Amino acid sequence: MSETRAAAIASAVTHGGADRSARTIAAVIGRMITAGELPVDTRLPTVRELARRLGVSPTTVSDAWRTLAGVGAIEARGRNGTYVRRPTGPGLPRRYRRVTEGPGHFDLDLSTGTPDPELLPDLRPVVASVSRQSLTSSYLDHPVLPGLAELLLDRWPFPPDALTVVDGAMDALDRVATHVLRLGDRVVVEHPAFPPMLDLLDQLGCEVVPVDVDENGMVVDGLRTVLALAPRAVFLQPRAQNPTGASLTAERARRLAEVLDDTQVLVVEDDHANDVSEAPPVSLGRWLPERTVHVRSFSKSHGPDLRLAAVGGAGDVVTAVENRRLLGPGWSSRILQAVLLELLRSSEVDDALARARDIYAERRKRISAVLDAHGIEHPTGDGINLWVRVADERGALVHLAMLGVGAAPGGPFLVRDDLDHLRVTIGNVRTDDAERVADMLVGAAGVVPTSGGGR
Ligand SMILES: Cc1ncc(COP(=O)(O)O)c(C=O)c1O
């Protein structure tokens, strides 16, 4: 059967295309899918088999597969092969949507993962100071303002081969992943992990390989074990991991780097928490500079609407991202970069950030104390989120919703089966309201599943 299919595809490519490039192969298969000649759930021939029939290299067919996966036409199902995928509706990205699909009318919405607006630096004086600048002289100016580049390089946790600025951490992850990953690549992720990042890897047709996180970050033995699967990359969050709040210690980072030392695995670090975290900056790039791409977002610390993140490290990847972006947005708004530069230079902003960190820590501490007193499991963590163990995810969400409180379901953060949890953005709980909210979480955590319940 698969022989016949391979023959049919090879013949369509030979007759229907001007050449046998990856683009032609993808276009012909795309048309066959649209025409119903390759229905949903059809298993495609292996890369090697089709390459042999077409007389092209396996890389050419892999590139075609990647293009098709990028538009959601096909998907890799691990060792079972690559299949035509069900067309995806506007509901995607599915995990991300589930995190925020609640009623949205909460008195207190703790599902958001966003920082407390009251604790972000005041932009007014800074905006006034940059408003008269003429910042762009040519479309081919370097995408990063020189002053900002200098300051970021100074503060980078290792000397990067290249550094650029993009529109937030997710923009960085999207661009890095799209450049580096191919359909069917295995990618090691933390377990639990950030849902949009899992959606992204899913859309690229990658197979995620989960490794547990403890209070010091990704578990070393877990990583060592999965290296036998020859993953292409490891994606991790160095600080205030969303959702568990774990921050990598320097020692853990060193040991993870040691395990990766004689591999070709690329390390992609999403330092989304930045200065909101109490932990110092940390990166495996200190030991693996040519194979680490470190992303630092300014959303949690300086404001999500700056939409800025820096990406630095492995020169081949960062430069490719920069070059590809020339054909898209070109650069991230230099007005916003100038605002960020002023914020990073200001000692008042440093003080405001230290204050925000203290307040977040106080909110965590107060809520954590109540949860501890009731034996509700949760890692102490760092940052603005708390990963709270509940008896039943759905029951807990309904219980909170009835009290006017929103929280994120734990399910979308999971790659494999695990106990039920909620991710609660406690950063948005007023300090003097912490105990009241904690009591509500205690109530929610204890709601037991009704028969027929579950996720
Ligand atoms: C782990 C993680 N990565 C990335 C992001 C998105 O960051 P940005 O706003 O810089 O795109 C978030 C936002 O919550 C996050 O929690």
Domain with 67, as residue range(s), is 2-84
Closest C-alpha residue for ligand 1 atom 3: 272
Ligand 1 pocket (Cβ < 6 Å) reads 113, 168-170, 194, 237, 242, 270, 272, 297, 299, 304, 309
How many angstroms separate the alpha carbon of residue 113 from the centre of ligand 1?
Answer: 8
The whole-angstrom separation of Cα 199 and Cα 260 is 25
Long-range contacts from 73-79, C-beta under 8 angstroms, 24+ separation = 73/29, 73/30, 73/33, 74/29, 74/33, 74/44, 74/183, 74/205, 75/202, 75/205, 76/183, 76/184, 76/205, 76/206, 76/207, 78/207
Domain-terminating residue out of 289, 318, 345: 345
Question: What tokens were used for 75?
Answer: 């998907």
Q: Do 129 and 246 fall within a single domain?
A: yes
How many angstroms separate the alpha carbon of residue 386 from the centre of ligand 1?
Answer: 16
- The answer to whether position 161 is within a domain reads yes
Domain with 422 in it: what CATH number? 3.90.1150.10
Q: Give residue 92's pLDDT.
A: 65
Domain with 331 in it: what CATH number? 3.40.640.10
Q: Do 304 and 379 fall within a single domain?
A: no
Q: What is the CA radius of gyration of the chain?
A: 24
CA-closest candidate to residue 346, choices 116, 156, 151: 151
Q: Do 148 and 177 fall within a single domain?
A: yes
Q: Do 259 and 114 fall within a single domain?
A: no
The whole-angstrom separation of Cα 267 and Cα 325 is 21
How many angstroms separate the alpha carbon of residue 237 from the centre of ligand 1?
Answer: 10
How many angstroms separate the alpha carbon of residue 12 from the centre of ligand 1?
Answer: 43
Query: Ligand 1: which of 167, 297, 423 to mutate, judged by most atoms within 8 Å of the beta carbon?
Result: 297
The whole-angstrom separation of Cα 45 and Cα 83 is 9
Identify residue 114 by its one-letter amino acid code.
Answer: T
Query: Ligand 1: which of 112, 170, 235, 424 to mutate, judged by most atoms within 8 Å of the beta carbon?
Result: 170
Q: What is the pTM of this model?
A: 0.86
The whole-angstrom separation of Cα 164 and Cα 209 is 29
DSSP secondary structure letters along 228-241: GG--SEEEE-SSS-
* pLDDT per residue as tens, the chain (455 positions): 677 889 999 998 888 666 888 888 887 887 788 778 899 999 999 999 999 999 999 999 998 888 777 767 788 888 889 999 876 555 467 788 777 665 457 899 999 999 999 999 999 989 988 877 778 889 889 999 999 999 999 999 999 999 999 999 999 999 999 999 988 789 999 999 999 999 999 888 888 999 999 999 999 999 999 999 999 999 999 999 999 999 999 999 999 999 999 999 999 999 999 999 999 999 999 999 999 999 999 999 999 999 999 999 999 999 999 999 999 999 999 999 999 999 999 999 999 999 999 999 999 999 999 999 999 999 989 999 999 999 999 889 889 988 989 999 999 999 998 999 999 999 999 999 999 999 999 999 998 865 544 44
Q: Give residue 312's pLDDT.
A: 98
How many angstroms separate the alpha carbon of residue 169 from the centre of ligand 1?
Answer: 6
- The answer to whether position 452 is within a domain reads no
168 Cα nearest atom in ligand 1: 10
Q: Give residue 259's pLDDT.
A: 98
197 Cα nearest atom in ligand 1: 3
304 Cα nearest atom in ligand 1: 9
Question: What tokens were used for 244?
Answer: 């568990």
How many angstroms separate the alpha carbon of residue 142 from the centre of ligand 1?
Answer: 25
The whole-angstrom separation of Cα 129 and Cα 124 is 9
CA-closest candidate to residue 72, choices 100, 94, 97: 94
The whole-angstrom separation of Cα 68 and Cα 30 is 7
Q: Give residue 431's pLDDT.
A: 98
The whole-angstrom separation of Cα 59 and Cα 53 is 14
Q: Do 287 and 355 fall within a single domain?
A: no
Question: What tokens were used for 15?
Answer: 């007759």
Domain-terminating residue out of 309, 325, 345: 345
Q: Do 216 and 330 fall within a single domain?
A: yes
How many structural domains compose the chain? 3
- The answer to whether position 451 is within a domain reads no
- The answer to whether position 386 is within a domain reads yes
Q: Give residue 455's pLDDT.
A: 43
Q: Do 140 and 244 fall within a single domain?
A: yes
Around Cβ 11, how many Cβ atoms within 10 Å?
13
